[in-house]
């Protein structure tokens, strides 16, 4: 399986994402600059964290207009897995590929620490390697991770099982309903604020995040009849 790691000016977690795929998952990965006009040949699309375009205007609001985002949208429509972490999640929200918006953390402070997450839905292409309601430890690092949506959107997310991860115990940023990660109705676009790519090896402090990438690979192999 071949992954595209999208790089915007200001991305700073692209290397972490590349390492998770190349060194831990043992699959192909390639950096793709934001002005690229093709994602041909890639099986999965990854939008890493950072501060795309300096987070001017709003987080992700400028990156959303990068030429590569047209290709990301095409990949999403084609059913390919599209995964955005932290700033990548914010870009997906700005692009309309996921519903809702991000506010500043309730504390108005940047948060960087490990948090506990609950796997709300393990019947997705991103979470099949987890148990339902499994509690995992994943680091966060953000200043604008307070997820918000209106009541109608929230009801739809809950009804369709689109809330994939919630904060367990402490809600570090004030997100509505403790939401840490959501997916689209089709189930192939996931955005989350915590960084699973930083939790793929015990040497990094934990490997709970690796199951997410293994889930993507498992689904791809099954859909392409590829043996492990």
Nearest to 145 by CA among 126, 170, 121: 170
Residue 86: active-site member:
yes
Residue 94: active-site member:
no
Q: Is 211 left (phi over 0), alpha (psi -120 to 50) or beta?
A: alpha
Helix segments in 78-205, DSSP class H: 87-94, 151-159
Selected catalytic residue, list 13, 34, 71, 86: 86
Residue 197: active-site member:
yes
163-167 and 179-183 strand pairing: antiparallel
Q: Is 102 left (phi over 0), alpha (psi -120 to 50) or beta?
A: beta
The CA distance from 192 to 105, in Å, is: 15
Encoding tokens for residue 15?
């290397």
Provide the 3-class DSSP secondary structure of residue 70: helix
Q: Are 89 and 192 in contact (CB under 8 A)?
A: yes
Residue with tokens 């393990």: 122
Encoding tokens for residue 44?
């999965």
Catalytic residue numbers?
86, 195, 197
């Amino acid at each position: 399986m071949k992954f595209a790691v999208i790089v915007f000016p200001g991305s700073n977690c692209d290397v972490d994402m590349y390492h998770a795929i190349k060194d831990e998952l043992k699959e192909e990965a390639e950096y793709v600059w934001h002005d690229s006009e093709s994602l041909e040949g890639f099986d999965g699309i990854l939008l890493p964290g950072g501060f795309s375009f300096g987070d001017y205007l709003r987080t992700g609001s400028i990156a959303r207009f990068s030429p590569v985002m047209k290709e990301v949208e095409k990949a999403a429509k084609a059913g390919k897995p599209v995964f955005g972490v932290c700033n990548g999640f914010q870009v997906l929200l700005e692009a309309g590929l996921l519903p809702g918006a991000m506010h500043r953390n309730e504390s108005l402070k940047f948060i960087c620490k490990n948090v506990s997450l609950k796997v709300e839905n393990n019947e997705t292409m991103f979470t099949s390697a987890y148990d339902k309601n499994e509690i995992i430890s994943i680091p966060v690092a953000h200043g604008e991770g307070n997820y918000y949506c209106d009541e109608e959107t929230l009801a739809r997310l809950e009804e369709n099982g689109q809330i994939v991860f919630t904060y367990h115990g402490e809600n570090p940023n004030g997100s509505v309903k403790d939401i840490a990660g959501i997916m689209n109705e089709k189930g192939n676009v996931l955005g989350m604020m915590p960084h699973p790519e930083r939790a793929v090896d015990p040497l990094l402090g934990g490997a709970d995040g690796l199951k997410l990438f293994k889930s993507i690979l498992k689904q791809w192999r099954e859909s392409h009849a590829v043996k492990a």
